Amino acid sequence: MRIIAGKFRGRRLKGPPNEQTRPTSDRLRETLFNVLAPRIEGARFLDLCAGTGAVGIEALSRAVAHVTFVDQSRKMCGLIETNLALLSVSQDEYDVVAAEAFDYLKRRTRKSGQYFDIAFFDPPYATDYDDALNFIGEILGEDGIVIVEHHKKKVLADQFSGLTRYRELKQGDSVLSFYRSS
């Protein structure tokens, strides 16, 4: 895995220790960030079910203000921290949280006063997406968006609580569904 563009362009990241983690491909990340380019600079970014952290690190490379990485595996959180250290990313530019996605979302509400401009949600393909997607709108700022990576055979609803799908990109077996606050 390598960083596609930005200040860390071409730098390699350490991969997952086993095949249980399915990192977002370089090609799909490039497609994602081509779409996000106009809104990425200075944004607050959530990488939910972060795995190796490649998506959030790509966001940091492209000038987001802050990334919060959330993964339920402590080993993967350690790998994210290793990758961030390899790139000498300043600790004030990120948080790494070891938590299950829905539990994190329940704890983190608008009451905290901190919102995300962009949330990327890439759970294991067997996961039930609905609980998290019905709650994730609660932590988005005004004009916030959520991008969900899922298998092409997984059909997601066009609307969830506070979210409406406005775009879908298919690439190989993966789909990126884009939702905005409604």
Instruction: Output the domain CATH number for residue 142.
Output: 3.40.50.150
Arithmetic mean of pLDDT over the chain: 90
Is 2 among the domain residues?
A: no
Is 77 among the domain residues?
A: yes
Q: What's the pLDDT at 23?
A: 67
Q: What is the pTM of this model?
A: 0.93
From residue 125, give the alpha-carbon distance in Å to each of 128, 134, 175, 180: 8, 17, 11, 22
pLDDT at residue 1 greater than cutoff 90:
no
How many other CB atoms are there within 10 angstroms of residue 165's CB atom?
17
Q: Which residues pair with 168 in a beta bridge?
A: 177
Q: Can you tell me which residue has the tokens 């380019």?
A: 37
Give 3-state DSSP helix, strand, coil % of the chain, rounded to 5.
30, 30, 35
- Mean local confidence (pLDDT), 79-93: 96
Is 9 among the domain residues?
A: no
130 contacts 97 by C-beta, under 8 angstroms: no
Is 18 among the domain residues?
A: no
- How does pLDDT run across 28-68, given as a tens digit for each residue? 999 999 999 999 999 999 999 999 999 999 999 999 999 99
Is 10 among the domain residues?
A: no
47 contacts 59 by C-beta, under 8 angstroms: yes
pLDDT at residue 111 greater than cutoff 70:
no
Is 8 among the domain residues?
A: no
Is 15 among the domain residues?
A: no
pLDDT at residue 18 greater than cutoff 70:
no
The boundaries of the domain holding residue 104 are 26-181
pLDDT at residue 88 greater than cutoff 60:
yes
Q: Can you tell me which residue has the tokens 């921290």?
A: 81
Is 4 among the domain residues?
A: no
Helix (H, G, I), strand (E, B) or coil at 156: coil
- How does pLDDT run across 136-170, given as a tens digit for each residue? 988 898 899 999 999 999 999 999 998 999 999 99
- Total domains present in the chain: 1
